[in-house]
Amino acid sequence: MRGANRVLANAIKRLADAEQPSNHRKYYRVTSAYEFIIYLEIADGVFSGFRFQKDANDDFIKMREQSVFNYGSGTMQKRFDLTENTSNKEFAISVREVGGTDTVWLPEHNNTGTVFESSEGVRSLIIDGQDVSLTSTTNLLMFDNGHLYQHLFGYYPGINEPLTEIKQTLIFQHDQVKQRFGMRLLKDTHIGSVYAFMLPMRSDFLSHVATNKREIVEADTENLGTDSQLDDLTAFEYYAVSKDTNKRDFYLTAKIENASSELLQLFLQHRDNPSALQKFYPYFHRQEDFNSGVRFFYDGYYKVGYTKNADKVFS
């Protein structure tokens, strides 16, 4: 069975690759202070867009919405968004000191800043070997190689010494945004929850999520406030697709390639805010105490892809 799954997965990959442009073009644009967009070509004249912006309450530059754009005459025209811009994607970790009471989220949730650069950290956007200013706007510019590197620290509000050290690299590669994420505990720490590679999808895009283990979970905009669990916790690749006539050839993928722990849960949450959000959660830790020095890591990639009838291919 495992061999059959691998053969089918390779066939799907060949199908998708056959419809990709032979030479992926990549563009970037710094749109305002600590805000930029990466555009990756996924079909002839069609680009995925990944917008990044610093959180208003802390220093983490987070992934905002993932979108589809048409390119022509030197400009990008947005067609639609696949994900919500306000909901965390790369990671969400709740922490407190061992023996404390309330946990807080890394990065910021509910307007409480928790992740900061401090004097030892760095936030650096490197394009074709050059450090790009994150405070000066640019035109739309083509590039070959690029990445965002963030070395930050997680704090509990009101405590001067950090609880955690966070290092994240996002690599803009072909049609993917690859994440290499690591966190080291600087104190004995209680971990309330760990999520990584989340997919907060708009209800006007999502019809269902399929995994590489052939499980499917459907979007649900009627029973808000509930969630739908998946059974196979060995699944590591997730495909979100739409049945909308104008969106059904596109899909959103999150793939976890390397993780410091096994999954506890996989579920699609049907939320009533914002606007019937359908958020997919890979869930790794729940209510555990860890000693100082313990490391966590979650590596993989996000991809907005194009293939004809993606809603049927990933079903």
Query: Tens digit of pLDDT for each residue in 225-249?
Result: 999 999 999 999 999 999 999 999 9
CB atoms within 10 A of CB 44: 12
Token pair listed for 178 = 């690859």
What are the C-alpha distances in Å from 282 to residues 193, 199, 236, 263, 269?
A: 11, 9, 9, 7, 11
C-alpha span between 216 and 200 (Å, rounded): 17
CATH code of the domain in which 191 resides: 2.70.98
pLDDT number for residue 275: 78
Q: Give yes or no for residue 2 having a pLDDT over 80.
A: no
CB atoms within 10 A of CB 161: 10
Of all residues in the chain, what percent carry a pLDDT higher than 70?
A: 93
pLDDT number for residue 13: 47
C-alpha span between 90 and 50 (Å, rounded): 12
Please tell me the total number of residues recorded for the chain in this structure: 315
Q: Give yes or no for residue 7 having a pLDDT over 50.
A: no
Query: Tens digit of pLDDT for each residue in 61-99?
Result: 999 999 999 999 999 999 999 999 999 999 999 999 999
Q: Give yes or no for residue 168 having a pLDDT over 70.
A: yes
Residue 190 or residue 22, greater confidence:
190
Please compute the mean of the pLDDT values over residues 130-155 and round it to a whole number.
98
Query: Tens digit of pLDDT for each residue in 254-309?
Result: 999 999 999 999 999 999 877 789 999 999 999 999 999 999 999 999 999 999 99
10 Å CB burial of residue 131 (0-12, 13-18, 19+) is exposed
C-alpha span between 53 and 62 (Å, rounded): 6
pLDDT number for residue 14: 47
pLDDT number for residue 303: 99
pLDDT number for residue 151: 99
What are the C-alpha distances in Å from 111 to residues 56, 86, 219?
A: 8, 12, 28
Q: Across all residues in the chain, what is the average pLDDT?
A: 93
| Number of domains forming the structure of the chain | 1
C-alpha span between 38 and 234 (Å, rounded): 31
What are the C-alpha distances in Å from 21 to residues 24, 146, 174, 307, 309?
A: 6, 19, 10, 12, 18
Give me the domain span that covers residue 88.
2-313
C-alpha span between 153 and 139 (Å, rounded): 32
Please compute the mean of the pLDDT values over residues 184-188 and round it to a whole number.
98
What is the phi/psi pair of residue 207, to 5°?
Answer: -110, -45
C-alpha span between 281 and 297 (Å, rounded): 16
**Among 22, 29, 33, 73, which Cα is nearest to 50's?**
29
Please compute the mean of the pLDDT values over residues 163-175 and round it to a whole number.
97
What residues are paired with 211 via a beta bridge? 238
Please compute the mean of the pLDDT values over residues 217-225 and round it to a whole number.
95
What residues are paired with 301 via a beta bridge? 178, 255
C-alpha span between 40 and 223 (Å, rounded): 35
Question: What would you report as the CA-atom Rg of the chain, rounded to the nearest whole angstrom?
Answer: 19
Q: Residue 40 CA to chain centroid, in angstroms?
A: 15
Please compute the mean of the pLDDT values over residues 185-189 and round it to a whole number.
98
pLDDT category of residue 23 using cuts at 50, 70 and 90: confident
